[in-house]
Amino acid sequence: MAWNTLATGDVTAEILPDEVSALNSIQGSSSVLAGILTNVIAETQASILAGGNQIGQAGTVPDQIREDVIALARWRWFAALPKTDLQSDARRAQYEEALKRIENIRSGREKVEIRRTRRTWRGRAFAWRRSGAGTSWRRIHLTHWGKHEPCGANRIRPTGRL
């Protein structure tokens, strides 16, 4: 699984359309959501790091806990706005479950998926080794089995495609 960014649209996609229109009628609600989402993502990454896990780029969360981060941001957004009745018992339960899961990650009881890294080199690894007489050097490929094969015209080709 991957680490992806979360946007305010991801949070509003989890809410009913009539609730979104009611929230948009409150002045400044979208800017409040953006600030809350940024803080929740930063807190989540800090918890992941504190639990001994690797973290991805700033502003990203693993898909493994994406819904939990959305539940945290949604609950805090609803709590920050005046005169809303959007804080239902079901959403409170989702918020509390998300807090428990983040606490388990922070304490190290639950591991988080490792972010994918891109290889910075292509092709096989190679090294230089002296020839049998010790007078010249030749380039050898290092395979993942630890065997060496010489390069060039006298290369030993394994069966199959190279």
d(CA 142, CA 124): 7
Give the total residue count for the chain.
Answer: 162
Is pTM beyond 0.95? Reply is: no
> Each residue of 72-91: pLDDT tens digit?
999 999 888 876 778 888 99
> Each residue of 102-130: pLDDT tens digit?
999 999 999 988 766 554 444 455 555 55
Please, which residues have CB within 8 angstroms of residue 106's CB and are 6 or more apart in sequence?
A: 47, 48, 50, 51
Q: Which tops the pLDDT comparison, 143 or 18?
A: 18
d(CA 159, CA 93): 59
